[in-house]
Amino acid sequence: MSSTTKASRIGEELWKTRVDKVNAELVTLTYGTIVAQLCQDYDGNYQEVNKQLEKMGYNIGMRLIEDFLAKSNVGRCANFRETADMISKVGFRIFLNIAPTVTNWTSDNNQFSLVFDENPLADFVELPDDGRAQDELWFSNILCGVLRGALEMVQMQIEAHFVSDVLRGDDTTEMRVSLVRYIEDEMPPEEE
């Protein structure tokens, strides 16, 4: 697992030396307020809230990738497994100071899971007890969008979604990431 340990080292180093820190509660409350406001604006239509969060994340990811590359100074990953390590050990480390576990690879190396032991976005959160949010809302869905936007900018089309969330009472928080294809042309993507 040389690429894993190397990615961990890079992530740690960057986190210590290059990252401006902000108060975690500020981030948590800001994000929580956005989600709660969306739930209110869409009148409890959680599918739509999930979609909007994903879209917001997508627009963030397309911008954040440049910061990631400028800071981390890493080159192109040789394969999707290395990409997964970079996402977990460097990306999540420098932006959220967590390193979700990469696991559950499919045999074709095109799909993996990120298992979040901690999730700064979801501190203090308890989903609304309206009987539906527990089944429909993916509170941290913005992260799926961030990954999709960021990887699209480096020519990878992926699909990401949550499959479980401790907020819903599941044992783990798990995101499934699948590589759809490598984008070969360099046409600019449409910004949503």
Partner 1 sequence: MTVFSLIIINKAGGLIYQREFQPGLRKLSTNDYLVLAGTFHGVHAITRTITPKLPLLTPTATASTPTSASSNLASPSGTSTPIPPTTTTTTTTTTSVAATTYTYPIPGVPATGLESLETDKFRLTCFQTLTGTKFLLFTDPHMANIEVVMKKIYEFYADFVMKNPFYQLEMPVRCEAFDRNMNGWLRGRT
Partner 2 sequence: MSYYFTILSPTDVPLFNIAFGTSKSGGDGIARFRFPDTAQYMNQFIIHSSLDMVEEAQWMNGNMYLKHIDTYPPASAYISAFLTPSGARFLLLHQPPHAAGPNANAGGSGGGGGGGIGGGSSILGGSFAAGSSAARASASSIAANPTSPQTEEAVRQFMAEVYENYVKTVMNPFYRQGMEIRSAVFRSRVTAAGRKWL
Please report, as ranges, the residues that interact with partner 1 according to CB under 8 A: 1-3, 6, 9-10, 13, 62-67, 69-71, 73-82, 109, 153-156, 182-184, 186-188, 191
Residue type, 47: Q
What residue 170 binds from partner 1, partner 2, none (CB within 5 to 8 A, per partner kind)?
none
Query: Among residues 66 and 130, whose Cβ is nearest to partner 1?
Result: 66
Q: Which helix (H) or strand (E) holds 190?
A: none
Smallest distance from partner 1 to CB 149, Å: 10
The residues, any chain, with a CB within 8 Å of residue 24's CB and separated by 6 or more, are 120, 123
Burial class of 32 by CB neighbour count within 10 A (0 to 12, 13 to 18, 19+): middle
- Alpha carbons 63 and 11: distance in angstroms, whole number: 19
CA atoms within 13 A on the CB side of 121: 21
Smallest distance from partner 1 to CB 43, Å: 26
What residue 123 binds from partner 2, partner 1, none (CB within 5 to 8 A, per partner kind)?
partner 2
Query: Among residues 74 and 125, whose Cβ is nearest to partner 1?
Result: 74
- Of the candidates 189, 170, 24, the residue with the CA atom closest to the CA atom of residue 97: 24
Query: Among residues 33 and 47, whose Cβ is nearest to partner 1?
Result: 33
- Cite the DSSP H helix spans in the chain: 2-17, 24-41, 46-72, 80-85, 92-96, 133-136, 142-153
Smallest distance from partner 2 to CB 122, Å: 10
Query: Among residues 31 and 68, whose Cβ is nearest to partner 2?
Result: 31
What residue 58 binds from partner 1, partner 2, none (CB within 5 to 8 A, per partner kind)?
none
Query: Among residues 21 and 76, whose Cβ is nearest to partner 1?
Result: 76
The pair of structure tokens assigned to 1 is 């697992």
Smallest distance from partner 2 to CB 39, Å: 7
Smallest distance from partner 2 to CB 141, Å: 14
